[in-house]
Amino acid sequence: MTPGALAARERVQPPSMTRVIASLHELGLVERTPHPTDGRQIIVTLSDAGTELLADEAQAREVWLTERLENLDSASLATLREAVGILTALVAEDD
Note the pLDDT tens digit of each residue in 53-85.
Answer: 999 999 999 999 999 999 999 999 999 999 999
Cα–Cα distance, 55 to 70 (Å, whole number): 23
pTM, whole model, 2 decimals?
0.75
Mean pLDDT value across the chain? 95
CB burial of residue 17 (10 Å; 0-12, 13-18, 19+):
buried
DSSP class of 74? H
